[in-house]
Amino acid sequence: MNRSLFFSALLFITLISSCTNSEQGKQLEEVTALIHSKDSLEKLYHENQFDSLNYWRLEASNIEITIKRNYVSNTVDKELSTKMNRFKSMQEIIDAESELGGEGEYEEEEKEMTLGRRMMLLNSGFKKEKISLENLQSDLENKLLDPKKFKIYIQSERMKVKQMENQLTQYLFVKNTELKEYIKLCKELRVFADSISKKS
**Angle, in degrees to the nearest 10, between helices 78-89 and 179-199:** 130
> Which of 1-5, 37-41, 104-108, 162-166 comes out lowest in average pLDDT?
104-108
64: left (phi over 0), alpha (psi -120 to 50) or beta: alpha
* Integer Cα distance of 59 and 176 in angstroms: 20
Buried b (16+ CB within 10 A) or exposed e, 93-109: bbbbebeeeeeeeeeee
Predicted local confidence at residue 4, as pLDDT = 60
Is the pLDDT higher at 187 or at 102?
187
Distances (CA, A) of 124 to 99, 165, 177: 11, 14, 24
Distances (CA, A) of 7 to 4, 11, 21, 107: 5, 6, 21, 62
- pLDDT at position 107 over 60: no
Predicted local confidence at residue 21, as pLDDT = 64
Predicted local confidence at residue 101, as pLDDT = 44
30-53 residue pLDDT tens: 999 999 999 999 999 999 998 888
60-104 residue pLDDT tens: 999 999 999 998 888 878 999 999 999 988 887 876 544 444 444
Q: Where are the domains of the chain?
A: 25-199
